[in-house]
Structure 1
Amino acid sequence: MTREPRQFARNLRKTLTSAEDVLWQALRGRRFHRLKFRRQVPFLNYTVDFLCVERKLIVEIDGKQHEWYAEYDSRRTKEIEHHGFKVIRFTNYDVMNDLESVLLRIAEAAVPPAASLPHPWPLSHSGEGKGA
């Protein structure tokens, strides 16, 4: 990784927006469902707001300027998702005025795919749901 993207990410970490700071306080230090989130992380050719590698989840907080960059954001999201990560986006307004709903959506997005979870009991094909 070159120094430039890392330095850019460092500078962003020092100058979080109010909404990013509010969300970071909820996510940092494994406070949120014991998941490890990092903030302002260089990823591919971008710097993403919040990254949970364990669940392959990226959370982006968009200010008003993102309305002007909708096409760019769409291409960026497609490229990131092509690498197997899920991207979810919120506005500054969402975070500042309805943090509970934002956290609920992040929790839903962070649920691992059912295919990767072991079944808690062996499946039986005969006598399903019937007593012996």
Structure 2
Amino acid sequence: MEFHNTLMEALEIEFIEIGEGKVIATMPVNNKTRQPFGYLHGGASVALAETVASIGAAALIDNEKEICFGLEINANHIRSKRDGVVTATAEVVHHGKSTMVWTIDIVDEEGQLICMSRCTVAVVPKKK
């Protein structure tokens, strides 16, 4: 999947797997994703988390008739990171008709937890 002129392109998010109920993507820790003190910005982690949850939700809906939007997200930033790559794995834990809930773990190259997040995604009919 390619996402030109989007936040995903700006943050260099790359999708590794988009499956039914599971999405994996990576994001570099670099000058685009660091806060002023040189560490991975919490907002960049949250953007990655919501991205994988939203793409996962979009894979589970009828895209001809429905669209999905992030409704709520929370994140706990567990460990800091200065450089390298982080990997987000999102898994659906609730798949309802109008909402989905996803858990997202973001880890470093050694599998250490950097951030854990939960995202609720709203599923709404497309306007005609």
TM-score bracket for the superposition, by shorter chain length: under 0.3
Larger Rg: 1
Using structure 1 for the length normalisation, give the TM-score.
Answer: 0.24
TM-score between both structures, scaled by the size of structure 2: 0.24
Structure with greater contact order relative to length (CA < 8 Å, sep ≥ 6): 2
The structure richer in helix per residue is 1
